[in-house]
Amino acid sequence: MIRIRYFARLRERLGCDEESLALPEGVATLADLLEHLRARDAHWREALDGEPALMMALNQELARPESALQDGDEVAFFPPVTGG
């Protein structure tokens, strides 16, 4: 089981802030997970495709799409943040 957290605009667009998911067969990386989530339906695809600079974290550290997943991981998706 992995824990997935959604932040900022993603949380609002998807209508959830987190979920637990049994790691699906064939999902080995963050990129695979993102594709799995996009395949849920048009709403998920639009929300996740609508963030061209989508940032990801794996176990609370910034991660790249090719980062490997394993059972027990925490994944976070969030749009880039600007500040002043």
pLDDT of the residue at 29: 97
> pLDDT for 34-83, tens place per residue?
999 999 999 999 999 876 788 999 999 999 999 999 999 999 999 887 55
d(C-alpha 34, C-alpha 12), whole Å: 17
pLDDT computed for residue 49 by the predictor: 87
Cα distance between residue 75 and residue 71, in whole Å: 11
CATH architecture of 2-78: Roll (3.10)
* Residue 27: other Cβ atoms inside 10 A: 18
pLDDT at position 53: 82
23: left (phi over 0), alpha (psi -120 to 50) or beta: beta
**The residue count for the chain:** 84
Give the per-residue pLDDT at 84. 53
Q: Are 14 and 35 in contact (CB under 8 A)?
A: no
Domains of the chain, residue spans:
2-78
Q: What is the pTM of this model?
A: 0.90
